[in-house]
């Protein structure tokens, strides 16, 4: 618990795994020591984070190093038992790569372009496509390593 909210900070092995995976994809990793998953919105959530979080089909939204997770989805993010936990870690790298708040303008432009092409601002957004693809690969690798460690 932090500030009265359920909060999960990846343990060292999870951070190391994320660092290896994100670095291999040319993504920044300096933010990972501060990465946290919070159940619900925290007091620092900005306007766009709040707007996206309120969408019915949204399960999580990343703002910098804070991943705001819908309370009903929080358990899957703890311990990285869901690919979406990796997707949001990837977005924390997007945020750093674009200079923090500088992430929002290109994200919005890509969302609008995706909407214009596919009719879906979320699934048509290249930021989401790259994050989802990387997340699936990271999740499968992570699961395989965890299974290997249980033998």
pLDDT digits (tens, 9 = 90+) for 87-146: 999 999 999 999 988 888 888 898 888 888 887 777 788 999 999 999 999 999 999 987
Q: What is the pTM of this model?
A: 0.90
Distances (CA, A) of 80 to 2, 10, 38, 132: 19, 9, 14, 14
CB 38 within 8 A of CB 49: no
CB 31 within 8 A of CB 64: yes
């Amino acid at each position: 618990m932090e500030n009265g909210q359920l909060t999960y900070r990846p343990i060292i092995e999870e951070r190391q795994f994320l660092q290896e995976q994100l670095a291999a994809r040319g993504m920044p990793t300096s933010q990972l020591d501060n990465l946290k998953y919070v159940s619900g919105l925290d007091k620092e959530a900005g306007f766009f984070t709040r707007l996206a979080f309120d969408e019915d089909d949204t399960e999580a939204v990343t703002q910098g190093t804070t991943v705001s997770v819908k309370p009903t989805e929080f358990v899957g993010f703890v311990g990285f038992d869901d690919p979406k936990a990796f997707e949001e870690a990837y977005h924390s790298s997007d945020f750093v790569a674009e200079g923090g708040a500088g992430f929002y303008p290109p994200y919005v432009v890509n969302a609008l372009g995706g909407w214009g092409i596919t009719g879906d601002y979320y699934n048509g957004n290249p930021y989401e496509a790259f994050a989802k693809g990387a997340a699936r690969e990271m999740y499968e690798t992570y699961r395989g390593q965890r299974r290997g460690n249980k033998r």
